[in-house]
Amino acid sequence: MPARCSGSCPRRLLLLCLFLSLPGGSPADLAVTPQDANQTHKNSLTRMPTGLKSSPEPMTTTQTVNRQTWGGSISDHLTVGPDASTPGPDLTTLEFKQDTKSNTSHGSYEKHEVVLSGDSGHAVVKNITLDRAVRIELTCKLDDKYSSLKVIQVTWKKGNETIGHINKTENSWSIQLTISDNSKLGSYNCTVKGEKEFSVVFHLQVPKIDVKDKPVITYEGDIAVLVCKSLNSTPISWTWYMTNGSEQIAINDSLLLDKYVIDKVFPNVTQLKILKLTSKDDGVYWCEAAFELGKSKGKMKLKVLSLMVPLKPFLAIVAEVVVLVAVIFLFELYSKRREKCTEIEKEFDQTEQLKSEESNGVENSSTRHRKV
């Protein structure tokens, strides 16, 4: 039974296979299953169509939640203001009170806060992904242990431009922004100068595209499938580009129906199928997702090989097999023949023995017995 095999069990494979579609079962070695378990966007706003769901991220303490090796411990607090259409329940955290400003003409309202409690050293960075227009409030706050610290100056800047309107509370400083188009995205810097200096940078960005970084390998005459996925956000539209030299040419699948097929597998996943591959299709492809606030690109490499490429090692190995099998059989024939020769010799010797013993008489009968 193919049972007792270690890392390579048929059963295992079976079970693995059975589990490919079930959560939690994806042994790394047999099957390659993409594990989408990662939440890279802990900080991103999860859209709530109706009602409110509290972010799974710990919101209750200032102790380190993210195991990040910065000078300080940071806790991220994310609260979502109620949508214009859904005045839902309030979320309160220990850190600060829920802002109950409901209706805004711009839709949802986000708050992001960073608590500074470490040594001044590196600047603290927080990435915020926005896929649609929002009003946003960014806060940098000093940890309670610094409540006695004298603060001389707090500046909020975008690039070189200083932002005027800073809302100050006891030991936190925040700004409110309306992010309505691409120009408003960027890096917002909060610097707190006093006996110690702290710095926080908020990067406001469009969502990133998730692509396989390894090249996709196909063969001539085959079909290639290139997949792009936008994490956690659904873009307004997708566009695919092919690279011709240094130019990027958009792929229009309605023009070349028998060559390209663009599918929307899920709202946030796009798939480009290239049929009847030739070596000309080899190269770099881009998928571009358009969001309300800007565009985001992903790069993929496609390799088209000829069948000759793997054929050479294949033939080499088959030749090796033929040679080995021939050697084994020849060796066997050879040793069988040798056995026969020695057998014949032995028989000859024995008959000789018998003859000589007979002539020597009965005394040697015991010898005969022993020898036979």
For the CB of residue 1, give the shortest distance to another protein in the complex, in Å: 3
Residue the block writes with tokens 């940078």: 201
First to last CA, the chain: 45
Q: In angstroms, rounded to a whole number, what is the distance separating the alpha carbons of residues 289 and 167?
A: 35
* Beta bridge pairs of residue 247: 244
Q: Which stretch binds another protein (CB under 8 A): 13-21, 119-127, 128-136, 282-290?
A: 13-21
If one asks whether residue 261 binds another protein (CB under 8 A), the answer comes out as: no
Q: Are 235 and 206 within 8 A, CB to CB?
A: no
User: Structure tokens of 348?
Assistant: 């000859």
Mark 22-41 with x for binding to another protein (rule: CB under 8 A) and - for no binding.
Answer: xxxxxxxxxxxx--------
Among 133, 151, 154, 216, the residue binding another protein under the rule CB under 8 A is 216
If one asks whether residue 65 binds another protein (CB under 8 A), the answer comes out as: no
Q: Which residues contact 362 (CB under 8 A, 6 or more apart)?
A: none
Among 94, 223, 249, 256, the residue binding another protein under the rule CB under 8 A is 223
Q: Are 251 and 242 within 8 A, CB to CB?
A: yes
If one asks whether residue 361 binds another protein (CB under 8 A), the answer comes out as: no
Q: In angstroms, rounded to a whole number, what is the distance separating the alpha carbons of residues 269 and 211?
A: 10
Concatenated DSSP letters of 166-209: -EE-SSEEEEEEEE-SGGG-EEEEEEEEESSEEEEEEEEEPPPE
Among 75, 129, 199, 218, the residue binding another protein under the rule CB under 8 A is 218
Q: Which stretch binds another protein (CB under 8 A): 17-25, 39-47, 129-137, 164-172?
A: 17-25
If one asks whether residue 332 binds another protein (CB under 8 A), the answer comes out as: yes
If one asks whether residue 8 binds another protein (CB under 8 A), the answer comes out as: yes
Sign of CA dihedral 168, 54, 294, 180: negative
Residue the block writes with tokens 């099998």: 325
Q: Which stretch binds another protein (CB under 8 A): 159-167, 174-182, 214-222, 287-295?
A: 214-222
Q: In angstroms, rounded to a whole number, what is the distance separating the alpha carbons of residues 9 and 227?
A: 31
Q: For the purposes of burial, counting CB atoms within 10 Å of the CB of 311, is it exposed (0-12), middle (13-18) or buried (19 or more)?
A: exposed
If one asks whether residue 227 binds another protein (CB under 8 A), the answer comes out as: yes
Q: Are 245 and 219 within 8 A, CB to CB?
A: no
- Whose Cβ is closer to another protein: residue 223's or residue 354's? 223
For the CB of residue 55, give the shortest distance to another protein in the complex, in Å: 21
Among positions 286-315, residues that touch another protein (CB under 8 A) are 303, 305, 309-311, 313-315
If one asks whether residue 94 binds another protein (CB under 8 A), the answer comes out as: no
Among 236, 250, 325, 341, the residue binding another protein under the rule CB under 8 A is 325
Q: In angstroms, rounded to a whole number, what is the distance separating the alpha carbons of residues 278 and 171?
A: 64
Q: Strand, helix or coil at 279?
A: helix
- Whose Cβ is closer to another protein: residue 329's or residue 348's? 329
If one asks whether residue 370 binds another protein (CB under 8 A), the answer comes out as: no
Among 118, 158, 187, 222, the residue binding another protein under the rule CB under 8 A is 222
For the CB of residue 214, give the shortest distance to another protein in the complex, in Å: 6
Contact footprint for another protein (CB under 8 A)? 1-33, 214, 216-219, 222-223, 225, 227, 271, 303, 305, 309-311, 313-318, 320-321, 324-325, 328-329, 332
